[in-house]
């Protein structure tokens, strides 16, 4: 099979890279001015749905490589680091221009913190964490925060929060961008979605994953019940998962240390 076996996983990574780039293009109005916020967010969601396929394909054809790992991180930086930040920034710029002009320093700080934290998280994962924690993420993954910001901005846009610039609710997207940026590099643990010993839990987890993929592909329809489902799902996973990780923190660190000493 030779080097041709690397084509499949790298093709999926290339697709994720391009989806992130297309998200930025649509969000900024470079390709089309028709609902740029929705289209930009949809490309991020598609990238989330396809994100695991490159790793799965690499394992399937035994084509894991250092090049693939670095390429995947670059694709993640574009799709889940830069694209969501641009999506939030241009949502304010297009939908609440006066608010944007009055709060440029806040926007610049949130944008900078988010993209820098995404870059640092990905670099840290490749350098330190890739083989350290098998059942938990150290810090919230870029894929998850990218999806959270993409879902939230479309949901809040449809709720009309940008119409009332006097309401404090209008600050939610930029504050969430800032917080999710910090969570990527925070010393917190989040359980991975993996098969467990409990068969009922595994079935529940599998059903949620299938429903999430369906809702993700239908995200473009902007149906509020789909947006609400995805939003409740990501908020629940984040709050419950981080709470569990905090409770089990010492155990997780000890297990990782024991593994590295073997």
133 is written with which tokens?
Answer: 């924690």
pTM over 0.75: yes
d(CA 139, CA 77): 15
Residue 228's pLDDT band, with cuts at 50, 70 and 90, is very high
Set out the domains of the chain in order of their start, with CATH numbers.
Answer: 2-261 (1.20.120.1760)
Lowest mean pLDDT among 164-173, 177-186, 219-228, 249-258: 249-258
Residue 261's pLDDT band, with cuts at 50, 70 and 90, is low
d(CA 66, CA 173): 36
Q: What is the pLDDT of residue 34?
A: 78
The more confidently predicted of residues 65 and 145 is 145
Q: Is the pLDDT of residue 159 over 80?
A: yes
> Which DSSP symbol is given to 77?
I
> Which DSSP symbol is given to 57?
H
188 φ, ψ (degrees, to nearest 5): -120, 160
Q: How many residues does the chain have?
A: 262
Residue 5's pLDDT band, with cuts at 50, 70 and 90, is low
Q: Is the pLDDT of residue 194 over 90?
A: no
Q: Is the pLDDT of residue 90 over 80?
A: yes
Q: What is the pLDDT of residue 58?
A: 64
């Amino acid at each position: 099979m030779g080097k041709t076996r690397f084509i499949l996983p790298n093709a999926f990574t290339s697709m994720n890279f391009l989806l992130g780039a297309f998200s930025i293009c649509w969000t900024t109005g470079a390709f089309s001015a028709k609902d740029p916020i929705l289209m930009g967010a949809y490309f991020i969601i598609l990238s989330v749905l396809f994100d695991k396929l490159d790793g799965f394909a690499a394992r399937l054809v035994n084509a894991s490589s250092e090049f693939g790992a670095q390429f995947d991180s670059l694709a993640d930086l574009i799709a889940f680091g830069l694209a969501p930040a641009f999506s939030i920034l241009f949502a304010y710029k297009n939908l609440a221009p006066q608010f944007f002009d009055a709060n440029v320093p806040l926007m610049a700080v949130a944008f900078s913190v988010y993209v820098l934290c995404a870059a640092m998280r990905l670099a840290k994962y490749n350098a330190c964490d890739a083989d350290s924690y098998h059942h938990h993420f150290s810090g919230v993954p870029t894929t998850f925060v990218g999806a959270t910001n993409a879902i939230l901005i479309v949901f809040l846009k449809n709720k009309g929060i940008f119409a009332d610039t006097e309401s404090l609710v209008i600050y939610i997207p930029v504050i969430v961008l800032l917080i999710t940026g910090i969570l990527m590099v925070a010393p917190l643990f989040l359980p991975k979605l993996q098969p467990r010993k409990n068969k009922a839990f595994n079935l529940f987890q599998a059903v949620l994953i299938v429903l999430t993929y369906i809702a993700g592909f239908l995200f473009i329809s902007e149906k509020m019940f789909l947006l609400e489902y995805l939003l409740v799902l990501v908020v629940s996973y984040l709050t419950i998962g981080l709470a569990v990780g905090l409770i089990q923190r010492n155990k997780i660190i000890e297990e990782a240390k024991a593994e590295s000493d073997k």
